[in-house]
Structure 1
Amino acid sequence: MTSSPRHEGMTGYLTRRRFGQLAALGLVAGVGSVGPTSSAVATGADARVHYDRARRLAGSDPVLRALVAALTPGFDFPRPPAPAPIKLFDNLAMLSVGWVSAMAVLTDDGIVMIDALTSPAEAESVLVRGLRELGADPETIRYVVVTHGHEDHFGGAQYLADHYGARVLMSPADWDLVARTRPANAPTRDLDIADGQRLTFGGTTIQLHHTPGHTPGTVSPIIPVRAGRERHTAMLWGGTNPPTTPTELRTYLASIHSFRARMRQADVDVELSNHPGDYGLQRAEQLRSRPGRANPFVLGRPRTQRFMAVMDSMLRGRLADAEAGNARGASRSHGAAVQRCC
């Protein structure tokens, strides 16, 4: 598959100049302080120990600092402009509306989508159009792996099923979540994802691991990627925005631990996200503007493990806050958003 020229003038797309302007103003995810926002809740001494450790682990690393910010209580998830579609690797494309992204795994026999954005309209205007712009054929979409049962991740899945015959996969727990909540644009129940399932298609094997916490059945993939002769292994954490109750937070922490071990076994050295709380949009623009330079999504194995260590410390802080009763304000202000996004 060959890349076609990028059309920066397309409506809603984020040009490099505009991106630089937004970054200078601190309006793009991950830019600025990693401390709490103005809406942050009170934090107890026990929680601060964990938050401080996360900040020390992050140091000056922009990816890890962005993660600390995204997991800080009271953080308001940004709504940056949409970037143009881009191949992050030879066999992996990012198709984004800014605040939420989907990934397309490009195999010898067709395409596996990881998530499907928010609606049929975005499936058509962003996913289908973006794939064509990158030289990929949306007619070959065969699977849509939905990381979790929120509309910003499955909203375009039924469109892809109806137009291209794609099979839609989700964990049983999140198929049940969708059935209970009956959100708009919900796909018809299709294939279940078992914990640790391997989806092999077109010579590519994607590992799908249950990582509940954000939702009851969040799934995090591990994906082989390539750039020229280089071979790497990528992970995508399926649901970043933490829950608010101690029970759910403990589940989230357990998922961090299990997935971190699976990352280690798979020699993961690339970090991806379906939301911009990991400095991902900035890294995509770096990749676009500096062809031939080191790929900024390749963190290396130690740094991807440190990414999970930062997440672990931040979640321990969130749990300490919740157990101390200091998260009531965050629950009131963010409870609705947790049910539908991120």
Structure 2
Amino acid sequence: MTALTPGREFPRPPAPAPIKLFDNLAMLSTGWVSAMAVLTDDGIVLIDALTSAAEAENVLLPGLRELGADPETIRYVVVTHGHDDHFGGARYLADRYGARVLMSPADWDLVAGTQPADAPARDLEIADGQRLTLGGTTIQLHHTPGHTPGTVSLIIPVRTGSERHTAMLWGGTNPPTTPTALRTYLGSIDSFRAQMRRTNADVELSNHPNDYGLQRAEQLRSRPDGPNPFVLGRPRTQRYMTVMDSMLRGRLADAQARNATGHSRSPGVSEQGLC
């Protein structure tokens, strides 16, 4: 709830060591932004690619090796949305390993419109509800526009030993400001929450540390045989989305009040917020 409070300063924690959150899911982080690696029998699906080629080379690749995974087996890079802190290393990985880069059509357009120097070449387009299968693991990709026009959120099967769970990753958290865009965001919350119910999602993940994910990772590192703190259970994972829905409705009420009165009822949202 605190993470969505207007005026909230975005945390910039130190970079943690790479860690496996589950047997088939690794987190590789610079602290303020993270990538996830889905480890399959036929290679790696990387979810986001940090901010730059340098971070891909100096954080992602050694992190994977430290965890016993071979970066040369990166087959796909799924970019959750078209901001450079998520696609920054994708071009490097595509050029070095031949990894295919996936993004929604709307966010490929977003990237093309801003023309950043390190943008990956336009490659595969993510369709809403698309399933990406590698090595017997199937990841579901859902359009959840709001943070950007083509933000994508994921449903990922994860496992530890014989335990099987279903993880969700909300692709972009910082809300827009206009009533129309906020309604779009609320619609995305509603549709993705339905997908979470359908798949019995019981694990919550984020690509930014707005959910105490780094603290939970350290808890897991210090107690690897204890309960996995990322397994919230279905009701609490749903509650994560319920809190976001409630906060966004508050944002929408503020935006409508600003339109009606010409001034804000609450402090403005920092553009350095959740990206």
TM-score bracket, shorter-length normalisation = over 0.9
Mark the structure with the bigger radius of gyration.
Answer: 1
Aligned to 1:100: 33
Question: Are 1:320 and 2:253 counterparts?
Answer: yes
Question: Are 1:197 and 2:130 counterparts?
Answer: yes
Distance 1:96-1:327 versus aligned 2 partners, 3 A rule? farther
Q: Secondary structure in 2 aligned to 1:79?
A: coil
How well do the aligned residues superpose, as a CA RMSD in angstroms?
1.1
1:322/1:328 contact within 8 Å kept: no
Deviation readout 1:244-284 (Å, 9 max, x if unpaired): 11111110000000000000000100000000000100000
TM-score (norm 2): 0.96
Q: C-alpha separation between the residues in 2 aligned to 1:269 and 1:314?
A: 21
Aligned to 2:150: 217
Which structure is richer in relative contact order (CA contacts within 8 A, separation 6 or more)?
1
Residue-pair matches, total: 270
Question: Are 1:301 and 2:234 counterparts?
Answer: yes
Q: Which runs of 4+ in 1 moved over 6 A?
A: none
Aligned to 2:261: none
Q: C-alpha separation between the residues in 1 aligned to 2:85 and 2:34?
A: 9
Q: Which has the higher helix share?
A: 1
Question: Which amino acid is the alignment partner of residue 94 of structure 1?
Answer: M
* Higher deviation after alignment, 117-126 or 181-190: 181-190
Question: Which amino acid is the alignment partner of residue 234 of structure 1?
Answer: A
* Higher deviation after alignment, 145-154 or 245-254: 245-254
Aligned to 2:268: 330
Deviation readout 1:94-143 (Å, 9 max, x if unpaired): 00000000000000000000000000000000100100000000000000
Q: CA deviation at 1:327?
A: 6.5
Match of 2:93 among 151, 155, 160: 160
Question: Are 1:267 and 2:205 counterparts?
Answer: no
Aligned to 1:251: 184
Question: Which amino acid is the alignment partner of residue 197 of structure 1?
Answer: Q
Aligned to 2:81: 148
Q: C-alpha separation between the residues in 2 aligned to 1:172 and 1:188?
A: 13
Question: Are 1:85 and 2:18 counterparts?
Answer: yes
State how 1:219-238 maps to structure 2 within 5 Å.
219-238=152-171
Q: C-alpha separation between the residues in 2 aligned to 1:101 and 1:303?
A: 22
Aligned to 1:179: 112
Distance 1:328-1:173 versus aligned 2 partners, 3 A rule? farther
Q: CA deviation at 1:76?
A: 1.2
TM-score (norm 1): 0.78
Aligned to 2:48: 115
2:178/2:255 contact within 8 Å kept: yes
Q: C-alpha separation between the residues in 1 aligned to 2:39 and 2:206?
A: 18
Q: Secondary structure in 2 aligned to 1:82?
A: coil
2:45/2:78 contact within 8 Å kept: yes
Distance 1:287-1:140 versus aligned 2 partners, 3 A rule? same
* Higher deviation after alignment, 318-327 or 296-305: 318-327
2:79/2:86 contact within 8 Å kept: yes
1:151/1:184 contact within 8 Å kept: no
Q: C-alpha separation between the residues in 2 aligned to 1:184 and 1:322?
A: 34
Match of 2:244 among 311, 316, 334: 311
Q: Secondary structure in 1 aligned to 2:142?
A: strand
Q: Percent identity?
A: 82
Question: Are 1:242 and 2:180 counterparts?
Answer: no
Gapped regions of structure 2 (runs ≥ 5): 259-263
